[in-house]
Amino acid sequence: MPKGRIIVVEDEPAIRRGVVDALRLTGYEVAEAADGAVGQQLAVQANVDLVLLDLQLPRKDGLEVLTEIRKLCPTRPVIILTARGTEEDRVRGLKMGADDYVVKPFSARELLARVEAVLRRTSPREPDVRAIRFGKATIDLLRREIRGPGSERHELSETEALLLQYLVGNRTRAVSREELLTRVWGVDAQGLETRTVDMHVARLRAKLKDPVSETNEAIVTVRSHGYMAGPGLAVVEGKSA
């Protein structure tokens, strides 16, 4: 099994080939891109563990790509590959959310050490949420069902259970529709116009009999941002992030 999936976005063929070969020899699965447009498409896909991103790219600048990654995948680790003498770009990249940078020319040994350090530092702790309470109802995410008072039960689809788990696992912040599409549905949300997320949220609210009150909402709509777990959802088995 690969150690992780890494996206390499670098327009210089010799550097890109050296980086890709070093990563594959070390046990990583690698996808590569020679320009920012293709690199961005790869970088926001599901199941990506880290992105190595050059700043000077054709078609789309590396800092623009970084902006999109942070918008769609806020927690995805990114290491900037940068030339000497571009301190201002490095600083901008770090302020925009890059996790580290490597200055060209670099050795394979240095790059691999930085990759492993960032992956150790940024590896997300998987939300260990198995059961949630909302009012008098208990949501069993393993069995994918809502148990109400008495014998009342509602089944959850796998996607509905994953959506609830993701929102509760990230309950300290609003989660964008694009991030949910990427992380829960596993699709590239770039340029995709769909009401899928909203429809799933509406179905969940109906099954939970969510009163949409300011004090006991299960799922809160955050204007211009997306959704977040509301104060009415309480973890009763497992723990959230």
Report the alpha-carbon distance of residue 240 to residue 131 in Å, rounded: 11
The mean pLDDT value for 105-109 works out to 92
Biggest alpha carbon distance in the chain?
A: 69
Say if residue 211 is preceded by a cis peptide, omega within 30 of 0.
no
Domain ranges of the chain: 5-122, 128-239
Helix (H) or strand (E) holding 31: strand 29-33
Helix (H) or strand (E) holding 53: strand 50-54
| DSSP codes of every residue in 54-74 | ESS-SSS-HHHHHHHHHHH-T
Determine how β-strand 78-83 pairs with β-strand 100-104.
Answer: parallel
Domain 5-122 architecture: 3-Layer(aba) Sandwich (3.40)
pLDDT confidence of 190, banded at 50, 70, 90? low
pLDDT confidence of 85, banded at 50, 70, 90? low
Query: For residues 129 and 162, is the Cβ–Cβ distance under 8 A?
Result: no
Query: For residues 150 and 138, is the Cβ–Cβ distance under 8 A?
Result: no
Is 135 exposed, middle or buried, given 0-12, 13-18 or 19+ CB atoms closer than 10 A? middle
213: pLDDT strictly greater than 70: no
83: pLDDT strictly greater than 80: yes
Report the alpha-carbon distance of residue 188 to residue 23 in Å, rounded: 24
Query: For residues 2 and 26, is the Cβ–Cβ distance under 8 A?
Result: no
The mean pLDDT value for 129-147 works out to 88
| CATH code matching the domain that covers 128-239, chosen among 3.40.50.720, 1.10.3720.10, 1.10.10.10, 2.60.40.790 | 1.10.10.10
pTM: 0.57
Average pLDDT, the chain: 85
Q: Residue 185 gets which letter from DSSP?
A: I
Phi, psi of 32, rounded to the nearest 5 degrees: -130, 155
Q: Could you tell me what percent of the chain has a pLDDT over 70?
A: 88
Is 126 exposed, middle or buried, given 0-12, 13-18 or 19+ CB atoms closer than 10 A? exposed
More confident residue, 124 or 30: 30
More confident residue, 126 or 74: 74
pLDDT in tens, 121-130: 766 544 567 8
Instruction: List Cα–Cα distances, 41 to 143, 194, 218, in angstroms.
Output: 35, 18, 33
